[in-house]
Amino acid sequence: MIELQAVTFQQQEKMIFNHVTFAFPAHQLTLVTGDSGSGKSTLFRLIAGFAQLSYQGNILLNGENLATASMKQKAQAVGMVFQNPSQQFTMRTLRKELIFTLENIGLAPVDIQERMNHALALGETTDLADKAINQLSGGEKQRAALTVVLALDAPILLLDEPFASIDPESRVRFIQKLKQLRDQGKTILLSDHDWSGYHEVVDAVVEVTEGQLQFGSLDKLTVDTVFHLQQADTTPFFDFQKVQITRNQRLLVETTSQLQTGITTLTGANGGGKTSLLKAMVQLEKYHGNMFLQGKKIRKKRQLYQTMSLAVQDAAKQFVALTVQEELAFCNNQQPEILTQQQAALAYFNISKNQSLFHLSEGQKKIVQLISMLSLPLDFLLLDEPFAGLDQHACDYFVEWIQQQATQQDFLIVTHRLAPLSGVSQHHLVLAKQTLQVGEQQ
């Protein structure tokens, strides 16, 4: 059981948790929900105890207070997957990360190989074990982070948005694996803004709201949303001519095709090359062949970024300033209506313009990134997993903004979370078998 006793935590001047007393049931799979920035990630960090956050009250794990325990003791009691998996790794490859982790908890060398192989199989990452972690896709990094946690074999698992960048097929399999781990006696807390696939698996829902925790209704875990396209008259505007993208001598993409005006959703399996394709389109990754925007050959020139740009998957990697206000000013669009829209968005999400970007939650970072990128006066905007870490209200807000912009701007959106774009996107492409294919409505 995970028990909070009169826990109070304040970050800077903001009260995150106020005298919270609550118990999470043992040996159950609990879905933790709440708006972006409500404190879900902070709750997991407090329970895990890895970050040495200063709080009042007590947190008991199976009856023990681990506040003064060693990191080794904590790691043996709790395994945690961070919302941003890039923050989780120390070593160059997953295999080295697993060996390093298991050595640190004192596992005998003779047992490390067996534990590692079991975790790689369970996490479906055997093929990733010796690849450089910084070369993995976002979804592959999430699977790698989950593999490390599974190798620890801790009785309590804290999973913070573990499937945000994982393709739907893998997501279904991993949810079932969590069910199996629960049935084996694990206590699992999982946060996710996408509730699809949980309705037959989750034992309890806990809501984080206004600094408190409360049990929610399982009825909110509805069945999967059907993805359908909006019908519209469109014309080609972007051409791929004999484009090939390779990495480490492996062919990722090979296509001769066109993009149509409007909003296009791009899906595909993790590691299939979607992010590499987007980077190549904005000339940030090498490729063979030619690309044309409105009939003009694309070249790596400064003027290109006045026409098209890419919102990258990890919002923090996009930032060039320290505060929210400085970041939004950097977009260099000072039109009164844009400034008004930016201020309205910050007010809606309760984000101060003076806040440090690096004190924001991952969801709030994504919000600021999207405000900034959608403020740019571009013809074509590429968005890589824009809904990762966002609650439904935030998704609805930005989809409405995208729809407004789509009257004068084209979008290519890579996402595994299709529900926000259902009935909004005019086109669906799938990157499969190294080529772009027309996707089916679901």
* Same domain membership, residue 308 and residue 181: no
* Same domain membership, residue 376 and residue 258: yes
Q: What pLDDT band is residue 127 in, cutting at 50, 70 and 90?
A: very high
Span 391-435, pLDDT tens digits: 999 999 999 999 999 999 999 999 999 989 999 999 999 999 999
281 inside domain: yes
- Looking at residue 423, what is its pLDDT? 93
- Looking at residue 294, what is its pLDDT? 94
pLDDT surpasses 80 at 331:
no
Can you give the residue range of the structural domain that contains 10? 2-220
329 inside domain: yes
* Same domain membership, residue 77 and residue 12: yes
Examine the fold and report which residue of 192, 220, 248 is the final residue of a domain before the chain moves on: 220
- Looking at residue 442, what is its pLDDT? 53
Mean pLDDT of the chain: 91
Span 333-376, pLDDT tens digits: 678 899 999 999 999 999 999 999 988 989 999 999 999 999 99
195 inside domain: yes
The number of domains in the chain is 2
230 inside domain: no
pLDDT surpasses 90 at 56:
yes
- Looking at residue 165, what is its pLDDT? 84
> Are the beta carbons of 274 and 266 closer than 8 angstroms?
yes
279 inside domain: yes
- Looking at residue 315, what is its pLDDT? 93
- Chain centre to alpha carbon of residue 28: 24
- Percentage, residues of the chain above pLDDT 90: 71
- Looking at residue 167, what is its pLDDT? 87
* Same domain membership, residue 241 and residue 204: no
Residue 32 φ then ψ, to 5°: -100, 120
First CA to last CA distance, the chain: 40
Examine the fold and report which residue of 196, 220, 244 is the final residue of a domain before the chain moves on: 220
* Same domain membership, residue 290 and residue 141: no
227 inside domain: no
Angle between helices 138-152 and 168-183 in degrees, nearest 10: 10
- Looking at residue 139, what is its pLDDT? 87
Q: What angle do CA 134, 395, 18 make, to 5 degrees?
A: 85
H/E element, 28: none
CATH code of the domain covering residue 345 = 3.40.50.300
Q: Tell me the one-letter amino acid at 203.
A: D
- Percentage, residues of the chain above pLDDT 70: 98
* Same domain membership, residue 265 and residue 413: yes
* Same domain membership, residue 244 and residue 129: no
381 inside domain: yes
* Same domain membership, residue 240 and residue 216: no
Q: What pLDDT band is residue 441 in, cutting at 50, 70 and 90?
A: low
Say how far apart CA 18 and CA 9 lie, in whole Å: 7
Span 230-262, pLDDT tens digits: 888 889 999 999 999 998 888 999 999 999 999
Phi-psi map region of 69: left, alpha, beta (phi>0 left; psi -120 to 50 alpha):
beta
* Same domain membership, residue 307 and residue 253: yes
**pTM of the full predicted structure?**
0.87
74 inside domain: yes
* Torsion (CA) 27, 207, 314, 223 in degrees, nearest 10: 80
What SS3 state is found at 386? coil
* Same domain membership, residue 251 and residue 193: no
* Same domain membership, residue 253 and residue 183: no
Residue 207 φ then ψ, to 5°: -100, 135
Examine the fold and report which residue of 161, 187, 220 is the final residue of a domain before the chain moves on: 220
121, two tokens: 């199989």
* Same domain membership, residue 240 and residue 159: no
